[in-house]
Structure 1
């Protein structure tokens, strides 16, 4: 599953609970308490009589005792918000049964039984979007992690694998398309009703069950696998969206081919369906043979989708397809093993995207996401290992740590083993555990055996939370360069006194005069400290370290600005060059924001930065996609993470001042670069995409030095744009400037795309993310807009998640931004708890803020914690954030 990549409004008048009210904490689930389920379910037969307001489900479960588990006289079938209509055991009455909380507990005396359960549900009332729910007149499901229990009573856990046969029927005018997992076996009609029967031959857990029924049209194609299997491919969408599905289909075919070539994985059914759904909590879901997607990750054409949207669609489609093996054929034993499938699959989709586009730029993008989302998680109250030890609500562990850090940990194995040996390790894993519910340990052991590595100490990456800090010191002794490295893993909630972990660091030592190095080397720091010596250096070289971001660590070093300028201008590793440029700017801005920068050092630092940026502009050996990354400033959020008690207002002022200085000093160079970029016609070539990236980036610099001129230039770009990337980029800049061009562009954008939900989401988000001084008032007004609704997660995220990620507005000194997000959480929680809970971490960063803001953020968390009937999702996030 891919986590989502970014009507009355809450008004602050939410009725609060009595001071004496204490929400009940949900029970803690611990990994060490795992035991096998006492019953196997070899086969599941489901019959659906479909209706938007009433769907009847008949589940016939074939169960038998699990020889690997302790004998139990009962079977516990999980349920949640469903009505039990009838129950039979072996076609007769059950010996005994009871409802225990939400669960159905049935007494079974023999070794094998058939249990028949009839339930009724109301999909139209399911605002949580888990289980079977209605979306714009269609029915669809989302069952990961624990949604299947909202459809029928079942042992809803990932280690209970079953083959599914499904018969679904409904009005053919309302539900002309009936889809489910696996292969379609048979179809038929009965008057105004029609039916379809599906069978999935591959045993799967209930979280991978999927059903879709609605009025849909499909783009159809086919793919021939490496062993000659002809697979029918369909991308189902609403009427009117079909012409925006070509990129999705091509991305799917590229994914299938790549997985065969790189990992040797062949698709195993006759059919692969994708369905786009407008109401969806996540980005997409990998259900076997029937992937359900948020429309955001399916629909694209140049007029409505940016270059980033195109890349996102390709990456998410790849991610869900790759799950067919890393998640479906081999699934998780329990939810503590979530990174087994998600971390591995994120790595696979990252490698796929690298091969489809610019590998260096993709690597930088992935690291930016890691640092923007996972590093703060690791340093805050929600820190947890990639294989957690406990949880109260599993949906809260669909985190950047499990996904993105999980991918980095597996990437480190690949770096240490080498690509060829790593492939042997993954082949061992797939061969050894196909058809099983496996663990993270099973994966590590397979890589260890297949690749010939000793990963005994490496396993600490799975059990220890926190981002390691590596201290670097380079000296010169005689003709040797002496590299001293030491590591610390900071304390995190529930974990102190961390043990050293193996940290693979790619390095190169540059000769200052020639600007060359003798080759890249891999050093592995597996102790608290170690020393590495390199001969044949007449003078002290320049160190390039953690090249390609070979380890997810923070590098701490005292390096002269002159060396950073050297690396930013001359390093042959694209990531290391980007890192040097970021270090130059981050170091300067941290010092400036904390008041330790003298006037002389401020001037020197600014000149160093301009010198390095000018070298990037003039370097003809790099392409514009990479040039755009090298010219980009570090985010305000990332700068704040480097400061113990951050003052967002001061960081904003210093960052804008530096941006304005750069724009003024490099005015002519940036102007020439813009003019050159503007001449390239639209295409999806790397050259054209790089030109579009540069144009918008240059506008953001211009806005900091000469807002009036930038407004005119952005207005001109908006008016001339023949694609969404240029139009959105211009509008993004205009939203932060109080000008007539801003007003005209916002009105035009809305009128041009009214009725296109995904593009109107952009309209909301751009205003919520803007640098305009009145951004909070704008967000309030947008929450009252006729197109805003709390019932659609995409729309809620487009306004409020965008605002929560806007340090300029969210961290307003008045605290109004914090109150706005807290009010949203309280209003949204009863409607969609999973989405509401995802807003809590923005307030959970209170420990990193200066005292005034810190107190206001904590107060809002305390206010939320006292609300009555708070969901498990939000309750856990709030209580953990408070500590």
Structure 2
């Protein structure tokens, strides 16, 4: 166990920096084990700090200090103080020039923070606090500086040298080395600094902005990956055009660059003008990338580009404001993706992620408000709460003030704070001033943690034709506050009322009549009190309320729908999201029936209403195939676990599997017809229509392999052997691996061997191969994963490999991970202990399955606690892991 416990940092303790850095000049001589970094900083005291004699304290870690020079005078050892975390100079005037030279070891930097080696390439990751591993600096987001960076390296080994901004000089030094100098005219915090040195190739394109400027676009990759860049480039250009049209934002530098890196802790990083991407988020071609992979590339490229304004030009004052840039930008990229494809499908995907994983985070030991009040290690707060819930909070503002006012508000925000480090209050104030709305109560979404719960009841007066909805809100206890201490949220509740013939016209009592025939069946109720009633008039029949249409707020809602209500919404409501949501609620109810029977050791019966609804959806060729596929996908075991009070691992797995098998057997002919209808020999096209068709085809194939018809195996084998794209090939492999039909085991073994033989030199495809086996729910899952840990394809130092095998197994294979003997928990703890020393960020992120121990039965709770205590007892525990484990065990 650690001798000294890490301390918490609190938002309430924020103070402006004592010094500012006007200009930063870096000269970096790249060497794998001994890189030298010379920095020249033009410093001045911050007039807002109110201190004329404070010492200069610079952040710095894991480097050797070679020299310090202040105002042209070399300092002796007694003139400054060096610790493992900082460099302090006590006597500094109002302005100063500080020059330091340090030596660092990128090859030994397995944390992948700061400057490190990824195979043959040098690259950086400085968000959140990685720059302090490169040189001594005021490594905080509210210190913005103009950067000039000169990189020197061996010309043959590292012919490409990149940094932020525009290239101002490139030359050979005549001794086998060369150098490149880059200047970024836009002041930025150190976390946006980037550097790349390697033997890379690039594809190039151009983009003409709305004002007529020509921007050079480049994507740098290893030569073998040049044929996988076209989709990312197209996505970039679409994102640039969309940001101009929707937000009026134009790119500002002369060049925009993306570099693909194989070893990367995150998905991508928005460094000014030089975005560094995980290869999984930029490389794509039909033969090696699934439709989901194409969608991810498009979304991540857009997200990082959009950061140029919502994150770079306007950055965050401190790390507590992280959602200011991330929540806003996730909302922007979500809207972009919706515009590029199906808005309803995108909304379903986003809400599924939120309700399955973010809601679970809100209910766990690491729960925190969108703007946390404290943290020990900021890397632990790059969470779904900050990103996805933060985006939902921005979406609610958009809903409450309307699209036109939201655009005015964003324009005002960018205008007021361009070149500044802003706060969430600055963002809200811009939205208030643009719309005239008071968002004071709404701001509680940023300061109160937990997922609000809405209890809804209704009453219909047939004689008066009035319908009353009463909504009560509450929010459960979270580590930041007790339920009783939480004030009511301002919650937009989108509503429709469904009658026998479809959606009814809405006439809300006390509200002006809405004569817009295109919109009079939909309204947004604003819940601002703990309990509130809304009355609707002129109703000819008792309606079925369709609540939270489009998922208008990130809340848990309870209304006593019966199964006929749900089938009515599935078939008749005009909101696509609500139709899908009703299908999920109906499926949950049926699965819970089977779970109850399983616990009583009885054979469960499948409610015929689910079978009939699925048959109707399957047979309706007028529906969007993507929506049909979504409505046919049963709630995941993770979602069923999230909504359970106590997670019954075996009952959930059995209940869902039995319902799936019942649907497969009962609707075999319908699934086969849908498969054949959607099967196509046309060349791969990445388009909304083609993706939708493949989605339904492979959903149908998955059901066919869960039926009692052995002939389905040959169908999957034929698809696997004849596939011309990774979407179809990997889908066929997955269904074979998970099938229990006679002959499936031999077929899957053959397919797995063939797949690896074909794709062993494509790292991202091999990751799919690992994940497919890691998530196989058939018995023996842990043993399969342990064997794969020894495979040549696996590398514990590579985050993508860890996520593909360890992460996929522990998070997405509950029946095998949560085995009663606790060996799954021991396996994860073993990996955490090793990763803690290699890469603390990745170690802490893999811990999540163990942190939710309180939701399981007593026996599993004890086993999970034992492994957390075992991790806690390790010496030299990183701050990342310590924070997660200590909070998990507390209380």
TM-score, length-scaled by structure 1: 0.96
CA distance in 2 between partners of 1:709 and 1:846 (Å): 42
Which residue of structure 1 aligns with residue 137 of structure 2? 154
Verify: 1:628 aligned to 2:609, yes or no. Answer: no
Task: Give the 3 Å change call, closer, same or farther, for CA 739–600 of structure 1 in structure 2.
Answer: closer
Pair 1:680–1:419, CA change in 2 (3 A): farther
Count of aligned pairs = 862
1:773-852 equivalence runs, <5 A? 773-805=779-811, 806-852=813-859
Give the distance between the partners of 2:203 and 2:792, measured in 1 at CA.
32
Matches of 2:119 and 2:835, distance apart in 1? 20
Q: Per-residue displacement from partner, 1:705-741 (whole Å, max 9, x unpaired)?
A: 3274443322221112111000001111111235211
Mapped to 1, the partners of 2:365 and 2:432 lie a distance apart of 33
Is this contact kept in 1: 2:117–2:123, CA < 8 A? yes
- The higher relative CO (CA closer than 8 Å, separation ≥ 6) is in 1
Kept in 1, the 8 Å contact 2:502–2:572? The answer is: no
Local SS of the residue matching 1:563:
helix
1:531 to 513, 533, 551: 533
Shift of 1:664: 1.6
Work out whether residues 2 and 876 of structure 2, in 8 Å CA contact, stay in contact via their aligned partners in 1.
no
Say if 1:591 and 1:597, in contact at 8 Å, map to a contact too. Answer: no
> What's 1:365 paired with?
349
2:868 paired residue number: 861
Tell me how far apart the structure 2 counterparts of residues 744 and 601 of structure 1 sit (CA, whole Å): 35
Match of 1:639 in 2: 640
Are the equivalent residues in 1 in contact too, given 2:598–2:651 (CA < 8 A)? no
Which residue is equivalent to 1:9? none
Please name the residue that 2:566 is paired with.
Answer: 564
Asked if 2 retains the 8 angstrom alpha-carbon contact of 1:680 and 1:691, the reply is: no
Q: Does residue 442 in structure 1 map to residue 442 in structure 2? A: no
Give the whole-Å Cα distance in 2 for the aligned partners of 1:666 and 1:24: 61
Counterpart position of 2:6: 26
Q: Is the Cα–Cα contact under 8 Å of residues 94 and 107 in structure 1 kept in the other structure?
A: no
Query: Separation in 1 of the partners of 2:479 and 2:679?
Result: 51
1:694, distance to aligned residue in structure 2 (A): 1.5
Partner of 1:504: 492
Q: Does the 8 Å contact 1:52/1:124 carry over to 2?
A: yes
In the TM superposition, residue 679 of structure 1 has moved relative to its aligned partner by: 3.1
In the TM superposition, what are the counterparts of 1:77-226 in structure 2 within 5 Å? 77-94=58-75, 96-191=79-174, 192-226=176-210
| Structure 2: stretches of 5+ with no match in the other structure | 506-519
Deviation at 1:601, TM superposition (A): 12
- CA drift of 1:103 comes to 0.4
Root-mean-square deviation over aligned CA pairs:
1.6
Deviates more, 1:614-623 or 1:778-787: 614-623
Secondary structure of the residue aligned to 1:186 is strand
* Equivalent residue for 2:475, pick from 489, 507, 515: 489
Q: Distance in 2 between matches of 1:451 and 1:439?
A: 19
Contact 1:512-1:542 at 8 Å conserved across structures: no
Q: How does 1:607-756 map to 2 (within 5 A)?
A: 607-679=608-680, 681=682, 682-706=684-708, 708-737=710-739, 738-756=744-762
Q: Is 2:235 aligned against 1:254?
A: no
Whole-angstrom CA distance in 1 between matches of 2:545 and 2:852:
34
Q: How far apart in 2 are the matches of 1:290 and 1:854?
A: 46
| 683-692 vs 556-565, which moves further | 683-692
Higher mean alpha-carbon deviation, 173-182 vs 710-719, is at 710-719
Distance, in Å, in 1 between the alignment partners of 2:665 and 2:101 is 71
Does the 8 Å contact 1:735/1:771 carry over to 2? Answer: no
Q: What are the superposed Cα offsets for residues 290-332 of structure 1, whole Å, 9 maximum, x if unpaired?
A: 0000000111110000000000000000000000000000111
Cα distance in 1, alignment partners of residues 451 and 598 from structure 2: 26
* TM-superposed deviation, 1:382: 0.9
How far apart in 2 are the matches of 1:23 and 1:656? 48
Does 2:781 correspond to 1:770? Answer: no
Aligned counterparts of 1:414 and 1:724: Cα–Cα separation in 2: 37
How big is the shift at 1:686?
2.3
Give the drift of 1:791.
1.0
**Whole-Å Cα distance in 1 between the matches of residues 118 and 287 of structure 2?**
26
Contact 2:203 2:220 in 1 (8 A): yes
1:483-528 Cα offsets, whole Å, 9 max, x none, are 1111111110130121110110111111124565551011011111
Kindly indicate whether the alpha-carbon contact (under 8 Å) linking 2:61 and 2:84 is maintained by their aligned counterparts in 1: no
Question: Structure 1 residue 77: deviation in Å?
Answer: 0.5
**Cα deviation, residue 799, structure 1:** 0.4
Distance in 1 (alpha carbons) for counterparts of 2:458 and 2:570: 18
Tell me what 1:587 maps to: 589
Q: Distance in 1 between matches of 2:688 and 2:54?
A: 63
Deviation at residue 24 of structure 1 after TM alignment: 2.7
User: Match of 2:837, SS?
Assistant: coil
In the alignment, is the contact (CA less than 8 A) between 2:166 and 2:255 conserved in 1?
yes
1:777-819 per-residue CA deviation (whole Å, 9 max, x = no partner) reads: 1101100101211111101111011101211221122222111
Q: How does 1:30-109 map to 2 (within 5 A)?
A: 30-71=10-51, 72-94=53-75, 96-109=79-92
Report deviation, 1:196.
0.8
2:553 alignment counterpart: 551
Report SS of the residue matched to 1:530. Answer: strand
Contact 1:565 1:611 in 2 (8 A): no
After TM superposition, the structure 1 stretch with the greater mean CA deviation from structure 2, 104-113 or 387-396, is 104-113
- 2:396 is matched with which residue: 412, 427, 434? 412
Residue 274 of structure 2 is aligned to residue 279 of structure 1: no
Cross-structure match for 2:414: 430
CA contact (8 A) 1:23 1:870 kept: no
- Note if contact 2:244-2:250 (Cα within 8 Å) is conserved in structure 1: yes
Distance 1:614 1:44 in 2: 65
**For the residues of structure 2 that align with 1:307 and 1:108, how far apart are their CA atoms?**
59
Aligned to 1:8: none
CA distance in 2, matches of 1:136, 1:718: 33
Q: Which residue is equivalent to 2:509? A: none
- Indicate if the aligned counterparts of 1:505 and 1:551 stay in contact, CA closer than 8 A: yes
- State the alpha-carbon separation in 2 of the partners of residues 710 and 113 from structure 1: 75
SS in 2 for 1:470: strand
The separation in 2 between residues aligned to 1:444 and 1:355, in whole angstroms, is 25
Indicate the SS of the match to 2:852: helix
Match of 2:215 among 224, 231, 254: 231
SS in 1 for 2:38: strand
Residue 455 of structure 1 is aligned with which of 413, 436, 439? 439
With 404-413 and 798-807 compared, the bigger mean Cα shift is at 798-807
Structure 1's unaligned 5+ residue stretches are 1-20
Task: Indicate yes or no: 2:306 matched with 1:326.
Answer: no
Alpha-carbon shift at residue 695 of structure 1 (Å) = 2.2
Between 254-263 and 732-741, the greater mean CA deviation after superposition: 732-741
Q: CA deviation at 1:687?
A: 2.5
Q: Structure 1 pair 683/108, CA: closer, same or farther in 2 (3 Å)? A: same
Structure 1 distance, partners of 2:600, 2:750, is 43
